[in-house]
Structure 1
Amino acid sequence: MRRRLLVLVGSMVSLALVAFLVPLALLALTLAADRATADALVRAQSLVPVASVGTPAALELAVQQANSGGGHPLTVYLSNGTVLGVPAVRSDAVKLALTGRSLTAQAQGGREIVVAVTGRSAGTAVIRVFVSDADLSRGVRRAWLILALVGAGVLAVSLVVADRLARSQIRLIAGIAQVSHDLAAGDLTARAPAEGPEELRRVAGALNHLARRIRVLLAQEREAVADLSHRLRTPLTVLRLEAEGLPEGEQATRVGAAVDAMERMVTQVIREARRSRQDEAGECDAARVAADRVHHWSMLARDQDRPVVRDLAAPPLHVGTGEEALTTCVDALLENVFAHTPEGTGFTVRLSPREGGGAVLTVADQGPGFPHARALERGVSGGSSTGLGLDIVRRTAERSGGSVTLANEPAGGARVTVEFGPRPS
């Protein structure tokens, strides 16, 4: 935009300067020629009185004095063929003037002014003054140089003003674009300043209105999700009462633990729905959380005859995500193993420090592997699940500054590698 505006202003100013300066340049050339012609005519008419009544000797003396003072060359032609002053060829203009007619004519190398002097007893005399091309254009180059400098100055000032204007407009447009990027990144408090021309102010106002509407709609969506999740507390309470009514033993313990896990998940959903992006940062001990969740799922693995290999780093191993979010990630990964592999299929859980801070969590199983490469996409599932588990894991990892990698083992089975970033400094 800046370059286009400069080109447009430069083109318009250049056209205006050409339309204005070219006639002035031609006028300067015409005025210089007219001034030189007028001076030559005055020089010739100064000899008319002497040529009219004076003797040839007096006329010759006057011509010599006029030429000795410099100026345009002066020549006098008498009717008897005598030539006084600067020698010059008798041109057609001089021959015409001998008939009694004064005129100005173009000659080789300049212009000649011939004045016919009649009324002499010895016949008509012709006074000729020659004006060279240099005299006709004297001062024109200087005038043209001044006009060129003025034109260049006007063009330079115009480009500077246009550049300042373009910079101010680009700055406003770049500010609006940055606000849109901030909104896309999740900063719903970003607002565009209402500055500049009316059109840009209208764009900024529309963008700010959109930001406010997005914020309201997200708040409404969070409350709606929180309300729906809160409704799950009633059936959870019933399940808890049923679990408490079971005879004491391993089955009652397992059902109670499952109800506790479900209640924690519902609580997390409610908090997740109601918190903003500024509340997403957190930290926890990944080693402790992973050990707790692997121990929880190991009881179900023992019932299904699933071999479990655990290789967990010793605590503390801090990561840049909250405890509830990390618990959900581990549960989602282990739940996928139980949901998508047959009973008796073993799995491995490894947790190690990440280079640069954070942790690396790897869950590998000996099942059929991932059916396609789109398993990380939200809502995509190779089985009968919702396809949201791995997407939750991905978003949690990326939120902490990490990533998720899926792979199929060469010997069969799936491997999920989750990198969690370090805790905030």
Structure 2
Amino acid sequence: MRKRLTLLVAGTTLLVLLAFLVPMAVLVRQVAADRALSRADDVVQTIVPLVGAGDVNALRLTVTAQPVPVTVFLPDGTVLGAPAAPTAAVRLAAARGRALTVITDDGQELVVPVVGSGGTTVVRTLVTDAELHRGVGRAWLILAGLGLTLVLLGLLVADRLARAITAPITQLSEVSHRLASADLAARAEPAGPRELREVAGALNHLAGRIQELLAAEREQVADLSHRLRTPLTALRLEAESLRDPDESARVAAAADQVARAVTAVIQQARRRDAPPAATGCDAAAVVRDRVAFWAVLAEDTGRPIHRDLPDGPLPVAVAADDLAAALDALLGNVFAHTPDGTALTVTLTARPGGGAILTVADEGPGFAPSAARRGASGGGSTGLGLDIARKVAVGFDVGAGSAGGAVVRLELAGS
């Protein structure tokens, strides 16, 4: 915008200067020519009275002393002053008895006849092109310099004006990018024209309103999560009252897992600062632990679980709780949307360039076409399971296996 405003002012200034300087240059040239002709005519008029007096010696001295070349053609053929042959204009003036101004290749020729008793005397002078244009070049250079100075001054003023307009716009753009990057403390300083100040005020109001809405949403999520602690406590007590120690330990472990998830939700909901630096974990250990947890339920429902996990550690740039939540969401989908006895496979391999690839596949009926969209589910669930898994991955793919069923593939970044 700044460049366009500058070019607009430069073009407008240049057009105005051309409309002014071109006629001025033509006028300067005409004035110079008129001044040279007027000076030559004054010289001729000083000689004409001497021709009428008939004093040849005085006439010769006067003609010789003139600042411009003057030639006097006497009736008897004598030539006084600057040597020159009688031209067509001289002969025509002598024949008609009228003063003439004739344009020639060398300039303009002024011829004035003086009729006397002895015949017609002709006074001639030549104003050369150099005399006609004397000082014109210098005047044109001055006009060109003046025009260039005005153009540069116009560009300077246009640049300052454009900067005064674009600087607030640039600031508004920077603030909007900061807001888009979750820096809700960013505010624009009202500056520039009234319209831009109004936009800055509206942007600041929008940022404040977003902060208020996010704060209210965090509090609501935190309150809702906190309410889950009471039924979780009751569930833990029920687990402790079970007679089967293995069953009691399994239910208690599940309740503890849910409690940890609820605590993580509360902490994340109350976090008002910028997101912390990315943490990492051993993906192999997390996946192995969660598969072992779900293996108990798989055994109860007759679901064969095939594991393909690395023996050593596999570091990824994902927090252990987030990776566990993502895998729990995927495995939970398998248990919730496939019939008992459906086989499933969990595969974890190294990712080229660092990280890991986690794949969960089953031999069930597969996903509905809308299952990949957040909040969309064809099985009566919330439809958020795949979205939870998608958030921890740098690459996410949902498809069908070669023998049917569903395949979910997560690419985890390296730490």
TM-score range, shorter chain: 0.7 to 0.9
Q: Which residue of 2 aligns with 1:292?
A: 289
Q: Distance in 1 between matches of 2:257 and 2:89?
A: 125
Distance change (3 Å), C-alpha of 1:287 and 1:135: same
- CA shift for structure 1 position 268: 2.1
User: Distance in 1 between the 2:216 and 2:46 partners?
Assistant: 103
- Which residue among 350, 365, 379 is the counterpart of 1:353? 350
Give the alignment's TM-score, normalised by structure 1. Answer: 0.84
Q: Structure 2 CA distance, aligned partners of 1:240 and 1:219?
A: 32
Q: Which moved more, 1:162-171 or 1:281-290?
A: 162-171
Residue 177 in 1 paired to residue 173 in 2?
A: yes
What amino acid is the match of 2:406? Answer: A
Name whichever of 318-327 and 32-41 sits farther off. 318-327
For residues 363 and 206 of structure 1, the distance between their equivalents in structure 2, rounded to whole angstroms, comes to 47
Task: Give, in whole Å, the separation in 2 of the partners of 1:19 and 1:7.
Answer: 18
Which range moves more in the overlay, 277-286 or 40-49? 277-286
On the 8 A contact 2:93/2:100 being kept in 1, the answer is no
- Residue 128 (str. 1) matches residue 127 (str. 2): no
Q: Any stretches of 5+ residues in structure 2 without a counterpart?
A: none
1:29-178 to structure 2, matched below 5 A, reads 29-56=29-56, 59=59, 63=63, 65=64, 71-76=68-73, 78=75, 86=84, 87-90=86-89, 94=93, 98=97, 105-109=101-105, 110-115=107-112, 117=114, 122=118, 125-159=121-155, 161-163=157-159, 166=162, 169-170=165-166, 172-178=168-174
Q: Does 1:403 align with 2:395?
A: yes
Could you say which residue in structure 2 is the equivalent of 1:327? 324
C-alpha distance in structure 1 between counterparts of 2:73 and 2:40, whole Å: 14
Closer/same/farther in 2, CA of residues 72 and 342 from structure 1, 3 Å limit: farther
Q: Which residue of the other structure, out of 292, 295, 299, is the alignment partner of 1:302? A: 299
Identify if the C-alpha distance between structure 1 residues 104 and 242 changes in structure 2 by more than 3 Å, giving closer, same or farther: farther
Q: CA RMSD in A?
A: 3.1
C-alpha change, 1:162 and 1:156, in structure 2 (3 Å) is same
Residue 270 of structure 1 deviates from its aligned partner by 1.4
Deviation at 1:330, TM superposition (A): 1.2
Measured after TM superposition, the shift of residue 239 of structure 1 is: 2.4
Q: Provide the rounded CA distance (Å) in 1 between the counterparts of 2:33 and 2:123.
A: 20
Shift of 1:90: 4.2
Q: Is 1:275 paired with 2:271?
A: yes
Partner-residue secondary structure (3-state), 1:129: strand
- Report the alpha carbon displacement of residue 24 of structure 1 after superposing the two structures with TM: 1.8
Which residue pairs with 1:187 in the alignment?
A: 183
Aligned to 2:371: 375
Give the aligned partner of residue 16 of structure 2. 16
2:363 alignment counterpart: 366
- Relative distance call for 1:48 and 1:95 in structure 2 (3 A) is closer
**Residue identity in the other structure for 1:381:** S
Match of 2:390? 394
Spell out, residue by residue over 1:200-244, the C-alpha distance to the aligned partner (whole angstroms, 9 max, x if none): 444334323322322222122111111111112222222223333
Which structure 1 residue ranges, 4+ long, deviate > 6 Å from structure 2? 80-83
Match of 2:244 in 1: 248
- Distance in 1, matches of 2:94 and 2:88, equals 11
Secondary structure in 1 matching 2:123: strand
Q: 1:142 to 1:97 in 2, by over 3 A?
A: farther
Q: CA 1:93/1:34 → structure 2, altered by over 3 Å: closer, same or farther?
A: farther
The farther-off stretch of 147-156 and 80-89 is: 80-89
Unaligned runs of 5+ in 1: none
Amino acid aligned to 1:238 = A
The one-character-per-residue Cα deviations of 1:279-306 (angstroms, maximum 9, x if unpaired) are: 3732223222212211110000000110
Residue deviations 1:89-110 (CA, integer Å, cap 9, x gap): 24698369836xxx66454454
- Whole-angstrom CA distance in 1 between matches of 2:167 and 2:24: 40
Residues 74-132 of structure 1, C-alpha deviations (whole Å, 9 max, x = no match): 34465x88876631224698369836xxx6645445444445657x5546645333334
Distance 2:212 2:95 in 1: 100
Change (3 A) 1:239 1:132: same
Report the Cα offset of residue 155 of structure 1. Answer: 2.3
Deviation at 1:167, TM superposition (A): 5.6
Change (3 A) 1:204 1:72: farther
Q: How many residues align?
A: 410
> Percent identity among equivalent residues?
51
Measured at CA, do residues 272 and 181 of structure 1 come closer, stay the same or move farther in structure 2, by a change above 3 Å? same
Write the deviation string for residues 236-264 of structure 1: whole angstroms up to 9, x where unpaired: 22222333333234433333233223222
CA displacement, residues 361-410 of structure 1 (integer Å, 9 cap, x when unaligned): 111111122232x533211223221110111111122xxxx221222111
1:222 to 218, 222, 241: 218
Q: Distance in 1 between matches of 2:89 and 2:46?
A: 21
Match of 2:357, SS state, is strand
Could you tell me how far 1:142 is from its partner in structure 2?
A: 3.7
Per the normalisation by structure 2, the TM-score is: 0.86
Q: How much does 1:134 deviate? A: 4.5
Structure 1 residues 104 and 383, CA, compared in 2 at 3 Å: closer, same or farther? farther
